[in-house]
Amino acid sequence: MDILLLLIPLSLVLVGVIAWVMLWAARNGQFDDLEGPGHSVIMDDDNPPKPDDTPRP
C-alpha cells in the first residue's frame, strides 16, 4: 500500500509530461500535414528522359 504514495504522483507527473509534449508538437506544426509524406512517395515527379537525336550505328 505504501507504493501507491510513490506511483500515483509519478503517474501524474508522467501524464503531465506527455500532455506537454503533445501540446508542444501541435503548436510547432508536427501534425499539420499527415497525408503529404505518404502521397509524396507515390507521386512520380521525375521528368521522362529525352530521346537522343544522335544516330546509333
Alpha helices in the chain (DSSP H): 4-27, 36-42
Per residue in 4-15, pLDDT tens? 999 999 999 999
The CA distance from 12 to 8, in Å, is 6
- The amino acid present at 51, given as its one-letter code, is P
Q: What is the mean pLDDT of residues 16-31?
A: 94
Output the pLDDT for position 9.
96
- Please say whether the beta carbons of 25 and 31 come within 8 A: yes
Q: How confident is the model at residue 22 (pLDDT cuts 50, 70, 90)?
A: very high
Residues 6+ apart with CB under 8 A from 31: 25
- Please say whether the beta carbons of 4 and 10 come within 8 A: no
